[in-house]
Amino acid sequence: MSLRIRDVLLVSGLCGALIGCGSSAGPTGGSCPAPAGAPIAHSGWLSADETWAAESPHLISADLTVSKGVTLTLAACADVTVQKGYYLRAEGRLVARGDESHPITIHGEGADRFAALWVRAPGSAELVHVSLDGGGALGDGAIVVEGSGFPPSKPLLVDHVTITNAAAYGVELRTWAGFADGSTDLTIQGAGSERADRPFPISMSLNAVGTIPVGQYTGNASDAIRVIGESPHYNVEIDDTLHDRDVPYQVGGAGMFGIITVLGDGTPTLTIEPGVTLRHFTSDSNIGGFFVGNTGTTASGRVVAVGTAEKPIVFTAAGKTGPGAWEGITFNGPVAAGNRLEHVRIELAGGHGGDNGFGCPPKELGAVATDGALKIFEQPPEQFLKSSTITSSSSFGVFRAWKGAEVDFLPGNTFEGVAYCNQVLNASPTGSCPTDVPCPK
């Protein structure tokens, strides 16, 4: 419902005491004229289509929900104030399409924060030339998007959208929600300004990260995109891509596992673009790691991480520092054709993942665990680590843990600061190891 707030405040005698009844409390931009007249108040459930014109300011004075099947349209230059702690929810459709000269603004009232713009699939939001400032009053992202389940849905379109001064995440996508096709030019600055446990510009699920648009994601409490697995689809189960968005990806953290596992029917492929850095979160009770496939008779995952000399792909740790800060990259089962690790850097790995009794480590090292920056448990079809660097491993470099023919991973690669052997010899097809085991350094 809509009501001119000035009429209510005049009756109560509060007009002017709480808000300026003759002008908007929020900013305007571009060539938009300042909205005139009393703010129009909105709250409750929107049960019929509405268009909010730009001539008057708009005030969400309590939670407002756009019902399923209903469209709320914000006209170009519309200025919307959301009072402290309240939500604008889209269970239907929110359409806010400004242009470069006629942007739309959504913001808190003065220094007060609103809760969030909350989009719940099958509802959707189309935001074009929109700025949001001061969200996250209750610890959610300034924009929260709930998908409709697995496989991922794409309820949020952003195009030249700016999110500033969020108390927690800038955009928080849950339940495998992603950005709609055509999304571009998303800018998030000042995220995490009040929540040290939610400092990232974006937090979202694996399987949807390939939808993250080109944008600017620096100037936040932590300039990284957080990706997590969500139950019951923790793994990368469909083809997905980690695009280079000029900030690292942090895997896990804030109570979530620092693990990526590429594993699913049909051998899903995770593609990683040149320049990407993956930081796997590790805490005392949760060691981070990157895993491909699982034990079985057929390959069940693939990674294609092809960097360049100028823009290598980096696999590293977060939460802990130093050699052994995380487990490393592990191929658990049959290795699919087409895996590629080229111009990558694997650093600070070698943490203990609990494997023992594989391969042929040198006997003089004792009963060492099967730990290494790169571990492979089934004979691969070819050497797939090329032009790459393994550095600062607390254990081995490449641990060849399979039984079978030898595939050499040393040629063309660089090993720096590896505590034990650069490469561990695999066992013979019968599982035997030679008396004299090589330990290249």
Tens digit of pLDDT at every position of the chain (441 positions): 444 333 333 333 333 333 333 333 344 456 898 888 899 999 999 999 999 999 999 999 999 999 999 999 999 999 999 999 999 999 999 999 999 999 999 999 999 999 999 999 999 999 999 999 999 999 999 999 999 999 999 999 999 999 999 999 999 999 999 999 999 999 999 999 999 999 999 999 999 999 999 999 999 999 999 999 999 999 999 999 999 999 999 999 888 899 999 999 999 999 999 999 999 999 887 899 999 999 889 999 999 999 999 999 999 999 999 999 999 999 999 999 999 999 999 999 999 987 878 999 998 876 567 899 999 999 999 999 999 999 999 999 999 999 999 999 999 999 999 999 999 999 999 999 998 999 999
Q: Where are the beta strands (DSSP E) in 48-86?
A: 50-52, 58-66, 71-74, 79-82
The DSSP bridge partners found for residue 188 are 163
Map out the domains of the chain as residue ranges: 1-224, 235-441
Distances (CA, A) of 124 to 32, 48, 174, 299: 26, 16, 14, 37
Q: Where are the beta strands (DSSP E) in 177-288?
A: 177-179, 184-189, 202-205, 215-216, 225-228, 240-242, 249-251, 259-262, 269-272, 277-281
Whole-structure pTM value: 0.91
Cβ atoms of 409 and 366 closer than 8 Å: no
Handedness of CA 324, 327, 328, 333 (dihedral sign): positive
> How many CB atoms neighbour CB 420 within 10 A?
21
The answer for 167, left when phi > 0, alpha when psi is -120 to 50, beta otherwise, is: alpha
Please calculate the CA angle 166-172-174 and round it to the nearest 5 degrees. 160
Quote the pLDDT of residue 22: 34
Quote the pLDDT of residue 357: 81
